[in-house]
Amino acid sequence: MKPDLFHEFDPVSSKQWKQKIQADLKGADYNETLLWKTNEGITVKPFYHRDEYDTLPLKPVKKIFHSCQQVFVDDASIADKLAKDALARGANSILFEADKPFDIDDLKSSLAVPSLAEIHFKLNFLSGEFLSELIGKTAGKKVFLNVDPLGNLANTGNWFHDMTKDHQVLESILHSADKSVSVLAVNVSGYQNAGANSIQQIAYALSHANEYLNFIEDKRIPVGLINFQFSVGGNYFFEIAKLQAFSHLWDLLKVEYGMGAEAHLFVQPSLRNKTLYDFNVNMLRTTTECMSAILGGADTISNTSYDTHLQKKDEFGERIARNQLLIISEESYFKEAVDAASGSYYIETLAKQMADKALELFKDIERSGGFLKQLTEG
């Protein structure tokens, strides 16, 4: 065992560090030279010290995440082959996206693969009959239906049908689904890709979800897992802190309702910062964004192909995206690291500041009538 060398060095206080820095600045103003304020209103310091450490009671971050491959369902038999191939090449989660109903039996080959840990559906329509069929034919599997009428309203300006019918379908599916099925989703990615900063994303996610919690409470519907779909950008440490701050605030919110609704974090790289002009750079961006997602506590990560803005999906781009996650997990040993960001004064201080500011914004939204009222009034 290596000897403990810490006692060989005298402890240095925050005050001593600041005095040393000020001496090295040779008269330059410490605050003006080394402090900077982000667009979230957070002041970033040149160093963080335990003397000034103010943190959240964060839960340990899980070291296991699922690698998800997105497959578009136009021809279900082709989608089945693509999903099966992705599972054979390292993915262990599949997201099937569709614009119209399809025959779920055509996906039976990929759904039977033993390594398939979870199945996600992204349906750009709302059909109670089709959702019921999905539930029946995926019985016993971990399924995410990702029903989010409010997300559709926020992204398109329209309900799937109208507010009343959308909520009727939602209520019916919530009542009929068993515990292995996650019905509800909250699409936070739309806010990030539209330009919302980290604090706004957290607050909007909470307020968006709060509309569903109010609906569930009024109808007395039991609910288990809610899928929160986040996008992460290139601000590495802030994105880690964003996910941590959200998880903390969600735990507070569900306690207020007396519910056991756990948050499942489904995370993708942002589309907002990807370039057409030197698209190989996108590989670097998505790599660090996936790292932020892992360290922030993502349950499922769906990487984005580096050339997604340039052309239709192809096998090469999707293979690179899968392999990025495999390299991070297996060769960089992220799967072995337990809560690697824990104890970082910088990250945990950021998470505390984000949580405080996001909670205030969330309260402002609720005082003004709630998410739906604010959304419809612009």
310 has a pLDDT exceeding 80: no
Q: What is the pLDDT of residue 148?
A: 98
206 has a pLDDT exceeding 90: yes
Q: What is the pLDDT of residue 85?
A: 96
**Reduced to 3 states, what is the DSSP secondary structure of residue 61?**
coil
Which two tokens mark 86?
């992705």
Q: How many CA atoms lie within 13 A of 353 on its CB side?
A: 18
59 has a pLDDT exceeding 80: no
What single letter denotes the amino acid at residue 64?
Answer: I
% of the chain exceeding 70 in pLDDT: 98
Sketch out the chain's domains with CATH numbers. 66-377 (3.20.20.240)
- Predicted TM-score (pTM) of this structure: 0.94
168 has a pLDDT exceeding 90: yes
Provide mean pLDDT across the span 62-81: 93
Give the separation between CA 146 and CA 238, rounded to whole angstroms: 26
3 has a pLDDT exceeding 70: no
Q: What is the pLDDT of residue 292?
A: 97
Provide mean pLDDT across the span 81-97: 97
- How many CB atoms sit inside 10 A of residue 48's CB? 17
Which two tokens mark 142?
């971990």
Q: What is the pLDDT of residue 279?
A: 84
Q: Which residue has the tokens 């096998």?
A: 315
CB 140 within 8 A of CB 116: no
Provide mean pLDDT across the span 198-204: 98
Give the separation between CA 366 and CA 358, rounded to whole angstroms: 12
Strand partners, 120: 95, 144
Q: What is the pLDDT of residue 53?
A: 79
CB 91 within 8 A of CB 68: yes
Give the separation between CA 37 and CA 136, rounded to whole angstroms: 52
Name the H helices within the chain: 14-24, 30-34, 76-88, 108-111, 128-137, 149-156, 163-176, 189-193, 198-219, 236-257, 281-296, 315-326, 345-367, 371-377
Q: What is the pLDDT of residue 55?
A: 76
Q: What is the pLDDT of residue 2?
A: 63
% of the chain exceeding 90 in pLDDT: 75
DSSP structure string for 288-342 = HHHHHHHHHT-SEE----TTTTTSS--HHHHHHHHHHHHIIIIIS-TTT-SSTTT
The residues, ordered by sequence, that sit 6+ positions from 194 with a Cβ below 8 Å of its Cβ are: none
Q: What is the pLDDT of residue 346?
A: 94
215 has a pLDDT exceeding 90: yes
Highest mean pLDDT among 3-7, 24-28, 57-61, 157-161: 157-161
User: Nearest 5 degrees, angle CA 72-CA 73-CA 74?
Assistant: 110
Provide mean pLDDT across the span 254-263: 88
Q: What is the dihedral sign for C-alpha 270, 271, 273, 274?
A: positive
* Angle, in degrees to the nearest 10, between helices 281-296 and 236-257: 40
pLDDT class for 1, splitting at 50, 70, 90? low
Provide mean pLDDT across the span 194-206: 98
CB 108 within 8 A of CB 85: no
